[in-house]
Amino acid sequence: MVLSPQLTQFFSQVEQNKQGYIERLTDAVAIPSVSGDPSHRQDVVRMGEYLQQQLKELGASVEIRDPGVQDWNGTGRILQLPPVILATVGTDPKKKTVLVYGHYDVQPALKEDGWNTDPFTLVLDEANDKLIGRGSTDDKGPILGWINVVEAHKQLNIELPVNIKFCLEGMEESGSEGLEKIIHDEAQGYFKDVSAVCISDNYWLGTEKPCLTYGLRGCVYYHITVSGPAADLHSGVFGGTVHEPMIDLAHLLSKLVEPNGKILIPGIYDNVAPVTDKERKTYENLSFDLQDLTNSVGNTINLHSNVEATLQHRWRFPSLSLHGVEGAFYNPGDKTVIPAKVKGKFSIRTVPDMDNDEITRLVKDYVTSEFKKLNSKNTCTVELTHGGDHWLASPDHWNYVAAAKAVEDVFGVQPDLTREGCSIPITLTFQEALNKNVLLLPMGRSDDGAHSINEKLNISNYINGTKLLGAYLYQVANAQ
Ligand SMILES: NCC(=O)N[C@@H](Cc1c[nH]cn1)C(=O)O
Ligand SMILES: [Zn+2]
Ligand SMILES: [Zn+2]
């Protein structure tokens, strides 16, 4: 494979800039832009301002859109949502325009969660090729990767091969509130000339080989609330004399899913698309084995004994997870309390051709009928708290062909074609509102620990990932 002179020049500029790129990620990780915690809302805004400044310094024209306000967790506490950043680099009508989406908010992180180091101080561990810190891989590293590409071209005084339009939000980890409306409102405005969309916000299947991702599961999230007593009760005084909300809830939660992962809600599997022979072939020859799962999980607790079943249950079958119970006693030690009101939280990852409204109807009917069987005098309600649809794109599209060639330019291998088990609901919005192909082009590895403790991005993934994003733009420019 022979690289063009521009790409050769660009790759060597990226190598030279390595220190500067790490410093940029250090600055970004230091801003604790946790969207799910109101006390950090100003930090999310500050992170957005940091990106706007970086983009302006590189010559981008930057606009912001106001997504409005948020009623935090339905508590009546009204919070301003962080701005959506729309930035344009290049407006040449003869060039294609790539829309780049990313998010500048992060998941919560506390040292006490088990981090080895302060989550918001980027640790450079050169011996192990790691950059450790919250947001390093999800999603600050990839966003900065795009900015690094623009900077390298400016330094080299060469034009980008395509126009870039950025759409950066600060609420992805909290349901992307307000973004969907902005995309629809701007479909014939800011987003009008977009040729294709690229999102770098997921991970390689394993740790060795890059991949392109063309599918995501959806997610519907529910709360079951059981309440009875007017206040928490003494279990010695009242235990055995009243219906206990926590006992009712434990029974209900146990009726949702079997320990082997089978969902017990009647009708839930009815609309799951059958596995075709063509699809079966897509699980062959992927750079993934059960040891990759074990390594990422940190234990041998796999439900399925082969790769095909494991990937099918991650990508194309629904799953139900129990997340937690609000209102229950959870501190260390023993407290002899009967909690007055408990809220069980669970979600279902959805797949083609499941329908969110239909799932919610099935969930509500089932939980209500199971509660009736308990003959409890407590009150039980079920509510959908947020939902997003599954997504599937065509990997035969020129956008994917361009990305595959870019992977070969940088890594000298053909990428795996993968789907993902997680959800980025805005992906489907871009596809439907703009009627353009969307590509997921990950930078990080499967063991990066996104959302977990000690989140990391390998230094080589950051640097080669920056090269990949740039090479992709060149291949898009040449695509038919
Ligand atoms: N990087 C994608 C990701 O982690 N997405 C979240 C989105 C989500 C869904 N409900 C709440 N957040 C995921 O959990 O899949
Ligand atoms: Zn993300
Ligand atoms: Zn995330």
Reported as a single tens digit per residue, the pLDDT across 2-26 is 899 999 999 999 999 999 999 999 9
One DSSP character per residue, 136-155 reads IIIIIHHHHHHHHHHHHHHH
Q: Can you tell me the mean pLDDT for 378-390?
A: 96
On whether the CB atoms of residues 37 and 108 are closer than 8 A, the answer is yes
Residue 1: predicted pLDDT: 76
Residue stretches of the annotated binding site for Mn(2+): 103, 138, 173, 201, 451
At 74 the pLDDT is 82
| Structural domains in the chain plus CATH codes | 5-216+391-478 (3.40.630.10), 218-273+316-388 (3.30.70.360)
Q: Enumerate the active-site residues.
A: 105, 172
pLDDT at residue 339 in the model: 98
pLDDT at position 45 is 98
Q: What is the pLDDT of residue 96?
A: 98
**Ligand 1 atom showing the smallest separation from residue 386 Cα:** 10
All residues at 6 or more sequence positions from 76 whose CB lies less than 8 Å from its CB, including other chains: none
| Percent of the chain with pLDDT strictly greater than 90 | 97
Name the DSSP class of 241: T
Residue 138 Cα distances to 132, 147, 251, 478, angstroms:
12, 15, 36, 30
Ligand 1 environment, Cβ below 6 A: 138, 175, 201-202, 219, 422-424
User: What distance in angstroms lies between residue 419's CA and the mean position of ligand 3's atoms?
Assistant: 16
- Residue 460 banded pLDDT, cuts 50, 70, 90: very high
Average pLDDT over residues 318-345: 97
Chain centre distance of CA 383: 23
Strands 130-132 and 218-227: unpaired
Q: Which helix (H) or strand (E) holds 469?
A: helix 459-478
Q: Write down the pLDDT at residue 296.
A: 86
Non-local CB neighbours of 6 within 8 Å, separated by 6+ positions: 158, 161, 474
Residue 296 one-letter amino acid = S
Q: Indicate the angle between helix axes 18-29 and 41-57, nearest 10 degrees.
A: 150
The pLDDT-based confidence of 354 (bands split at 50, 70, 90) is very high
38, 72 in Cβ contact below 8 A? yes
User: What pLDDT, on the 0 to 100 scale, is given for residue 73?
Assistant: 82
For the segment 262-287, the average pLDDT, to the nearest whole number, is 96
Q: Which residues pair with 220 in a beta bridge?
A: 348, 387
Average pLDDT value over all residues in the chain: 97
Q: pLDDT of 434-449, one tens digit each?
A: 999 999 999 999 999 9
Going from the Cα of 370 to the center of ligand 2, the distance in angstroms, rounded, reads 36
∠ CA 141-59-18, nearest 5°, is 35
pLDDT at residue 327 above 80?
A: yes
H helix or E strand, kind and range, residue 1: none
pLDDT at site 44: 98
Q: Is pLDDT at 325 greater than 90 in this prediction? A: yes
The string of pLDDT tens digits covering residues 64-98 is 999 999 999 888 999 999 999 999 999 999 999 99
Q: Whose CA is nearest to atom 6 of ligand 1?
A: 423
ipTM for the predicted complex: 0.96
**Measuring CA to CA, how many Å separate 37 from each of 42, 44, 93?**
10, 10, 42
- How far is 166 from 55, CA to CA, in rounded Å? 10
Coil vs helix vs strand at 213: strand
The pLDDT tens digits of the residues spanning 174-224 come to: 989 999 999 999 999 999 999 999 999 999 999 999 999 999 999 999 999
Tokens of 445: 């590895």
